[in-house]
Structure 1
Amino acid sequence: MKVVVELADEELWLLAEKAIYWPRRHTLLIADAHFGKAAAYRKLGQPVPTGTTQTNIDVLNRLMRRYPCTEVIFLGDFLHAPESHALNTLAAIGTWREAHADVSMRLIRGNHDRRAGDPPEALKIEVVAEPWLVGPFALQHEPQPHATHHVLAGHVHPTFRLRGKGRQSVRAPCFCLGPRISLLPAFGAFTGGMNVSPAPGTRLYLVADEGVWPLTHD
């Protein structure tokens, strides 16, 4: 399921897979994949799930089959840590990249990328500093305002908590679209999140139950 929105006079599709598709450019925008995060934790002796990198790759493959895609832009934090350069992690990413060799890929370097190091050159992912200006958008990792362009960013891993009766509540990732800065949820399957509250002029879209749901606030 997707929700079609207009932002900076461009049509964007908010996807239930926690990504944005820009149909005019056939571009997929991904924030905070954090490939190899579980591998990094296991190296530190932490008991964490396995297979999270492959889960992320499976979702990417599904998106790239569903939507005509000539470009993928990662808004920072492609790899989680130096330990994410584990052989199994890089082999899985390499297989995915080879399957989409004709697709242009770019990474806007984020804070975890600076620590983890750039992806291996064999992946053919161009790495650039923020902001990367494309059309009306400043594509960034950090959600800092830009003087002339609307910012699309990650880093925050935005979530929203819906409260029901009594102590009932549910917390889910969300898209947070503001007047000057818009945030994508973290794409990675093994990431935390930070609760956000809607400011005036901000639209929130909750990702839950394999769909994207606009939240109305009085």
Structure 2
Amino acid sequence: MFEDCLFRDRAAYFPDERTLVLADVHLGRDRASNVEFSLGEREDVLSRLDALLSRFDPREVVVAGDLLHGFDSVPHGVERSLRAFERHIEDGGARLVVTRGNHDPMLDSVLEGVVADYSIGASLACHGHERPDPAAGYVHGHIHPAITIEGRKRPCYLRGPAADGGEVLVLPAFTRLAGGVDVARAGSFRSPLLGEPDTYRPVVLDEDVDETLAFPPLSALRSHL
């Protein structure tokens, strides 16, 4: 499963379903930071989204949770960012589907039709903070995976067995304001869908040459990092 997925800029594209999946956009994260100037969150998210829409021409864009960042409020300007996010997807000829993440308790106040999970072929897109109904495969976010290679920390995808016997693909955080959790140093993952970290294989996109690099399981990789 997931062999046909195409990886680009922290997102995954399912060609058979013409579905683009990303997770952990965290709109409003820049406003939650301690700096006094704009971090360019909206411009960065929208320009990268446009590039993905242009490259893949998806029929659907699925956000696998944590579209928003704030737990108990929608800060000034965030709803405008959300409307722009919706508009860019609509202008790209796609339909937006959003699954609920643990950061999204306020999402219903600004967006209609939020769902707990969403089927993409035989896989289920969800956020990964709660256990959904059983499926053959899961696509989720939540843990913000990253890996340090030659002193450089890079966002990564994770592939491996789900805790219930299915297969799982974990996406890196779409926002570049998230530092990421170094999976090679993690003793456990904060998701009921994931088991022992040693069983998961990092997948890193080398954007300089547009090449996807699939590494061996963490059990074999750790000694080389």
Shorter-chain TM range is: 0.7 to 0.9
Aligned equivalent of 1:206: 204
Q: CA deviation at 1:83?
A: 4.8
Identify if the C-alpha distance between structure 1 residues 209 and 48 changes in structure 2 by more than 3 Å, giving closer, same or farther: farther
What's the counterpart of residue 3 of structure 1?
Answer: none
| Residues matched between the structures, number | 195
Following TM superposition, by how much is the alpha carbon of 1:54 offset from its aligned partner in structure 2, in angstroms? 1.5
Indicate if the aligned counterparts of 2:7 and 2:205 stay in contact, CA closer than 8 A: no
Task: Name the counterpart of 1:21.
Answer: 13
CA distance in 2, matches of 1:63, 1:193: 21
1:56 aligned to 42, 45, 55, which one? 45
Aligned positions of 1:85-164 closer than 5 A: 85-87=75-77, 89-101=78-90, 102-114=93-105, 116-118=106-108, 120-121=110-111, 126-130=113-117, 132-142=118-128, 144=131, 147-163=134-150
What is residue 59 of structure 2 aligned with on the other side? 70
Q: Secondary structure of 1:72's match?
A: strand
Cα pair 2:144 2:180 within 8 Å, conserved: yes
What are the superposed Cα offsets for residues 83-111 of structure 1, whole Å, 9 maximum, x if unpaired? 54423x33243234224324211111000
Distance 2:6 2:126 in 1: 18
Report the aligned-residue RMSD: 2.4
Match of residue 190 from structure 2:
none
Structure 1 residues 96 and 146, CA gap change in structure 2 (3 angstroms): closer
Match of residue 34 from structure 1: 26
Distance 2:109 2:40 in 1: 19
User: What's the counterpart of residue 170 of structure 2?
Assistant: 183
Structure with more relative contact order (C-alpha pairs < 8 Å, separation 6 or more): 1
Q: CA 1:48–1:208 in structure 2 vs 1: closer, same or farther (change >3 Å)?
A: farther
Write out per-residue CA displacement over residues 159-185 of structure 1, whole angstroms, 9 at most, x where no aligned residue. 11224xxxxx22111010113222101
- TM-score normalised over the length of structure 2: 0.76
Identity among equivalent pairs (%): 26
1:11 has 2:11 as partner: no
Are the aligned partners of 1:79 and 1:119 in contact in 2 as well (CA < 8 Å)? no
- What residue ranges of structure 1 are gaps of 5+ in the alignment? 1-5, 164-168
Q: Give the strand-richer structure, 1 or 2.
A: 1
- Deviation of 1:25 after TM superposition, in Å, equals 1.3
Unmatched segments (≥5 aa) in structure 2 = 162-166, 185-196, 221-225
Residue 98 of structure 1 aligns to a residue whose secondary structure is: helix
State the distance in 2 between where 1:178 and 1:48 align.
Answer: 40
